[in-house]
Structures are given as structure tokens and as C-alpha cells.
């Protein structure tokens, strides 16, 4: 006998909200439709498609990978297992970058380690006069970033490479932004929760968590114009160490900004003019 959506939701081992999202994915409908039609009978193909998604979720796969998308800075981004799942914390990085170039006409921006492209695309769409280059060492991640730029109507330049060792633009940048891998390779969280499914190279630098940040901060002076800004995201306990790096590399006014949870999440500074 055919079951209804209401019966399925009542029986689901998943939290109701997750089950609803999976049903919306299977049926391709809005939340309002789902509520209005919850007594409609479901056919066998729909039930099988739902079961396949439910099984993945029960095995711990993140919702963002199952649904293939995640909202960031008010826009819907495609995500695949080739990229880090966008985190709300990273909105602090976008905010910091946009503040750093506020009032500057046609700024030149470099996003190092763009992943799904959330930072570069958000800045490019909020500042259409900016020239934004997005880089990554993962060709698969760059393909996702390109797909997001195209789908959201952002014009970006892309290059593949190891931090600054890639095709860059002639002239210097007004802003460099980066959310690099910053988890210590020994951190036990890497083997837990969503992190188990995310690309290891997006999470950890394979060292103490500050290796990529050191490389980015040390290289910045060669690529920023005098007075140009560097904004980086880092771990909850890394702000003091990152400010120290900034200070030793010619950023005398380094300061950290807090994310929505009140954690010092982003450090930024301007290169001495």
C-alpha cells in the first residue's frame, strides 16, 4: 500500500527538518508544497529515491553534499565532496574584505584557496567594479568555483597553483583574502562528524595548522600594493599567533575580528604604505 509523506515523516529516524529537506530534494518541491501535500500518496520510485538519500545521511554524510548546495552570504552555492562545505563563520572574512576595499574604485582582489568560490564570488557580486582572481591547488575545486561563478553571474579570473606560485595578474593587489586549511594534522576532530567527508587538503595543512597561514602572510608583501590589505580566516585559538605573523611581515596594525559566535576568526591588516 502506498504511504503518504506524513506517514514517512512520522516514521523517519532522521530529524524532521532533515527528512523534509531530503523529500524536497526527491520531489523537487518547495517547503510550502510539502506541507500542503503531506497526505498525497507517494509512488515506489519516489520512496526508493528517498531511501537512498536517507541511507547516505544515516551513514553520516553531510546534508550539504547530499543536497549539493549550501547558502552563503544570502546566495545558493553548489557544493560537491571536492570542496569544503561553506561555513557561516566565513561570512566574517567576506565582511572584512569588503570593508577593506570600501570606497576604493575598481579594486584588485586575490582569493587564495577559493574552494567552492564563496568568498571570491561574494566579493565580486557585491563589488561588480572589482577585478577578482580566485586560485586553488585543486583542479576539482576550481571547477566547482567556476560553476558557481557562472551560475550566479560573477565575472572572475581563475588560476590553479600552490598559493602565490600560480598565474597572477601584473601589478599588485588592493586586497588578498584567504580561508586556508588551518586545522592541526593531529587534531582528532578530523576523524569526526562532517570533517570525515570533506577534502583533507581543505581542512589541514598537514602540519601544525599555521603552515599555510605562514606562507600566505609571508608572501603577501610581494603581491600587495603599499596600503593594500590582507584578510585571513583562522582557527578559534590562532588569532594571537596570526597577529604575530602579520606584525613580523610589515603589517603594523594587525587586528582580529570576531565571528557570529564571538570568536576571533579573522585577522587583517594593511601593508605599510
Judged by CB under 6 A, the residue of 81, 201, 219, 250 near ligand SAM is 201
Q: Could you say whether residue 119 binds ligand SAM (CB under 6 A)?
A: yes
Q: Which is nearer to ligand SAM, 23 or 158 (CB)?
A: 158
Q: Could you say whether residue 113 binds ligand SAM (CB under 6 A)?
A: yes
Q: What angle do CA 107, 94, 245 make, to 5 degrees?
A: 85
| Span from 49-57, 80-88, 100-108, 220-228 in contact with ligand SAM (CB under 6 A) | 80-88
Q: Which is nearer to ligand SAM, 21 or 84 (CB)?
A: 84
Q: Could you say whether residue 213 binds ligand SAM (CB under 6 A)?
A: no
| Span from 62-70, 115-123, 124-132, 239-247 in contact with ligand SAM (CB under 6 A) | 115-123
Residues in the chain: 273
The CA distance from 212 to 182, in Å, is: 7
Nine-digit cell string for 193: 562528524
Q: Contact letters (x/-) for ligand SAM, 144-183, by CB under 6 A? A: ------------------xx---------------xxx--
The CA distance from 195 to 187, in Å, is: 11
Nine-digit cell string for 216: 600566505
Q: Could you say whether residue 202 binds ligand SAM (CB under 6 A)?
A: yes
Q: What single string gives the DSSP state of each residue in 184-253? A: -TT-GGGGSGGGGGS-HHHHB-SSSS-HHHHHHHHHHTTTEEEEEEEEEE--TT-HHHHHHHHHHTT-TT
- Is the distance from CB of 206 to CB of 184 less than 8 angstroms? no
Q: Smallest Cα–Cα separation from 73: which of 50, 94, 46, 103?
A: 94
Q: How far is the CB of 10 from ligand SAM (least distance, A)?
A: 36
Q: Could you say whether residue 12 binds ligand SAM (CB under 6 A)?
A: no
Instruction: Write out the residues near ligand SAM by the rule CB under 6 A.
Output: 83-84, 86, 90, 113-116, 118-119, 135-138, 141, 162-163, 179-181, 201-202, 212
Amino acid at each position: 500500500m502506498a504511504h503518504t509523506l506524513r506517514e514517512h515523516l512520522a516514521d523517519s529516524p532522521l530529524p524532521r527538518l532533515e527528512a523534509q529537506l531530503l523529500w524536497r530534494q526527491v520531489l523537487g518541491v518547495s517547503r510550502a508544497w510539502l506541507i500542503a501535500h503531506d497526505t498525497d500518496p507517494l509512488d515506489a520510485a519516489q520512496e526508493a529515491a528517498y531511501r537512498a538519500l536517507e541511507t547516505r545521511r544515516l551513514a553520516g554524510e553531510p546534508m550539504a553534499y547530499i543536497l549539493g548546495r549550501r547558502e552563503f552570504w544570502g546566495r545558493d552555492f553548489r557544493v560537491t565532496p571536492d570542496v569544503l562545505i561553506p561555513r557561516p563563520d566565513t561570512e566574517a572574512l567576506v565582511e572584512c574584505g569588503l570593508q577593506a576595499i570600501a570606497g576604493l574604485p575598481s579594486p584588485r582582489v586575490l582569493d587564495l584557496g577559493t574552494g567552492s568560490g564563496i568568498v571570491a564570488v561574494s566579493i565580486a557580486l557585491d563589488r561588480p567594479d572589482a577585478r577578482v582572481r580566485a586560485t586553488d591547488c585543486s583542479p576539482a575545486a576550481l571547477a566547482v568555483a567556476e560553476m558557481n561563478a557562472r551560475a550566479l553571474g560573477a565575472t572572475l579570473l581563475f588560476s590553479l597553483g600552490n598559493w602565490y606560485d600560480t598565474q597572477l595578474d601584473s601589478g599588485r593587489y588592493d586586497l588578498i583574502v584567504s580561508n586556508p586549511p588551518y586545522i592541526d594534522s593531529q587534531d582528532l576532530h578530523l576523524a569526526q562528524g562532517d570533517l570525515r567527508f570533506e577534502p583533507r587538503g581543505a581542512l589541514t595543512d598537514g602540519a601544525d595548522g599555521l603552515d599555510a597561514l605562514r606562507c600566505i602572510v609571508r608572501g603577501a608583501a610581494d603581491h600587495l600594493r603599499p596600503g593594500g590589505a590582507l584578510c585571513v580566516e583562522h582557527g578559534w585559538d590562532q588569532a594571537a599567533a596570526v597577529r604575530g605573523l602579520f606584525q613580523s611581515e610589515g603589517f603594523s596594525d594587525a587586528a582580529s575580528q570576531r565571528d557570529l559566535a564571538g570568536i576571533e576568526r579573522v585577522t587583517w591588516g594593511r601593508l605599510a604604505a
